[in-house]
Amino acid sequence: MIPYINTQEVPIENVGEGKKKKMDDFQYMYKLRSAVCVFILFLLLSNKVAYKVLDIIAKVFSNNINIIDDQENPQFMGTFIMAVIIAFVIFVF
């Protein structure tokens, strides 16, 4: 039988001298910081210049990878690689 876990409980943190302090369910500062970082990364890495730079870097390693098409719009592979880069940067920071 699976024990019942109440997810609505608020975690308690020891402050010292036997006093306890309630913590918030969510630590909104970390969420806000992550949202701002993703917002800035998205603005920087979703423009056409970033895809051109990524295309130049990809052409150094292989001529078979097409990041942008003739009208300089990103293709699926370019969008996928850029998403992996954003995920990696968010994971590291």
Q: Which two tokens stand for residue 31?
A: 């969420």
Tens of pLDDT, residues 26-71: 677 888 888 888 899 889 888 999 999 999 999 998 888 889 998 9
Write down the pLDDT at residue 51: 92
Q: Whole-prediction pTM value?
A: 0.62
User: For residue 84, what pLDDT band results from cuts at 50, 70 and 90?
Assistant: very high
Inside any domain, residue 47: yes
Which DSSP letter does residue 23 get? P
Q: How many domains in the chain?
A: 1
Name 10's Cβ contacts closer than 8 Å, sequence gap at least 6: 22, 23, 24, 25
Inside any domain, residue 28: yes
Inside any domain, residue 6: no
Q: How far apart are CA 70 and CA 85, in angstroms?
A: 23
Percent of the chain predicted with pLDDT > 70: 72
Inside any domain, residue 32: yes
Q: How far apart are CA 15 and CA 23, in angstroms?
A: 11
